[in-house]
Amino acid sequence: MQFSKKIKKSISITKQNLMEKTSNRENTLEPEEMKLLEKQISESKGNLRKLTKSIQKETLSSGVSIQDGTELSNNFIDYSVFLRENYPDLVILSGVLSKIGEFQAGFEDLKAKLNTSLINEVSNPLKSLTKTELVQAQNQKKEYDKVRVSYDASLSELSQLKKKKDTKPQKIQEQEIECETMKQKFENAGQETTSVLQDTNVISEFETIEKLCDYLDSYHTFFTKGYRWLAQMIPDIYEYRLYVEKRKAELEKSKVRMSMMLSPTKGAQEALKNKVFGEDLSVLLQKDQSAIPRFIIRAFHSIRNHITEEGLFRLSGTKRIIMEVKKNIDEGKEYNLDEITDVHVTCNLVKLFLRELQPEPLLTYSRYNDLIDVCNIEDPNGRVAKIQKVVQSLPKHYYNLLHHLMHLLYQISQTPKSKMGPANLATVVGPNILVSQHDVVVEDIALGNMVITTMIQNFEKIFNGAPQLVQEVFVQSTTSTSTLNTSFTTTATNSNGNFRSPSIDNSSDQHQIPIYSGVPMKNKHNDDDDCSTLGDSFDENEAVELSDD
């Protein structure tokens, strides 16, 4: 009898399950809260599985990239060793290759550590979460469903017994007792399951958030260590770039010297009369009848009109335009630099002019060692005084040009929008004016540019104020519309290099040009001004500061 009753109950439960699955009977006993909690568990489990699989897939893909990067690192280092063993003169190139090889190897190691962190700290814990807490919660819900279906089946059976007319009251009473027992069991299971599902969803949320933070931490560590690794190389990169700039300047000068040694043809001799680039400075000043070359006057005026332009002297102009303008200037053709829309072309022409200056670079070969030795002076004021002494010993025409150049660079460095501080300007202009007559030493390049940086930063002290700015004024000829009479006037500046209104002295002879006498102006300056070379960078936001160490 008891066995028969169990079979009937089992059949009733199975029927109840089947009716729910086929939607023939609605699940009315389970609270909506329970349904939502179960849905959240199921969705969390599915999404976390997708997430962990994607992380694993990404690390596998990155593993292939690490293998390629390691091979690249080995190639850099092998090339470096080859040069060192076979071409000792290419020690700089060998050093660059070695540094990059080391960087690449370290970078691949960081990527490998990142992958390990993503798997061990993120993917595996999330996989464990889906296989433990979430699965256990689902199993708990399955047990609850069994109790609920059993209770529902008992209620159905009681309802059927009551509908039958010949059912004995005792049987109905027994079924009512069973229903009451199942109800208590169902309520207890419901409370326990609700608590488990709620706790599991909370745990799932917290642990997922924690692992996602670990995910970001892993990348934070990766990028932080990578940046530090790269930052250690920035001083080397800086010196290597200076080395290249220096060698370029020397190569250009060598080409100019070679061209001067060759016997010019008659046509070439005629062209030399108008030559500006690669010309002897004293010869050029005699032709232009000016304190500084006419080209420089025009170029500096044009650059000042664009002084807020970002990257002056650093960004490159179009090479074709640069060479075309240079050719026109050297051929004596009339030109107007203000008509060039790209001021970087003009800046490049100025650097080219300084690079090809004859017979010596602007700071002369004989003063190179004295200026480099300035960096050994620990006292900033003493360093500035020494630079001033060396600068004032320059020939008058060299001093004049240097004074005007440094004034322009100082004005640019005081213009935040240009993003060209003293060190940045020194990096791109310095190699064109401070040149060694002997082989280039990488360490000296950095020291030389530190000297130029100090010169720009302490312009007021070293040059005792701004020069009288020579400005060219064009006057249309009354006899011919095709010719231009050129006169020059001076535009005064105050001690900070800010312009005051230009004035033209019409009473003076147009051929007699007011020029700067070469004697430093005695402007007052504050002895407490900063003489340090610190505080300037390659970029406004990111770069390594130049130091005196």
The DSSP symbol for 468 reads P
Which residue intervals of the chain bear CATH 1.10.555.10? 272-463
The amino acid that residue 49 corresponds to is R
CB 429 within 8 A of CB 409: yes
* Mean pLDDT, residues 43-60: 93
The pLDDT of residue 207:
93
Take residue 149 and report the two structure tokens written for it.
């279906």
On average, the pLDDT of the chain sits at 79
CB 415 within 8 A of CB 535: no
Residue 59 confidence (pLDDT) above 80: yes
The residues, ordered by sequence, that sit 6+ positions from 267 with a Cβ below 8 Å of its Cβ are none
Which residue intervals of the chain bear CATH 1.20.1270.60? 11-254
Query: Within 13 A of 162's CA, how many CA atoms are on the CB side?
Result: 10
pLDDT tens for 120-154 read 999 999 999 999 999 999 999 999 988 888 888 88
CB 516 within 8 A of CB 465: no
C-alpha 154/C-alpha 178 separation (Å) is: 7
CB 115 within 8 A of CB 60: no
272-463 falls under which CATH superfamily?
A: Rho GTPase activation protein (1.10.555.10)
Task: Count the residues in the chain.
Answer: 549
The pLDDT of residue 316:
87
pLDDT tens for 289-329 read 889 999 999 999 999 999 999 999 999 888 899 999 999 99
Take residue 381 and report the two structure tokens written for it.
């004021």
pLDDT tens for 175-202 read 889 889 988 998 898 899 999 999 999 9
Residue 293: cis peptide before it, omega within 30 degrees of 0: no
11-254 falls under which CATH superfamily?
A: Arfaptin homology (AH) domain/BAR domain (1.20.1270.60)
The answer for 278, left when phi > 0, alpha when psi is -120 to 50, beta otherwise, is left
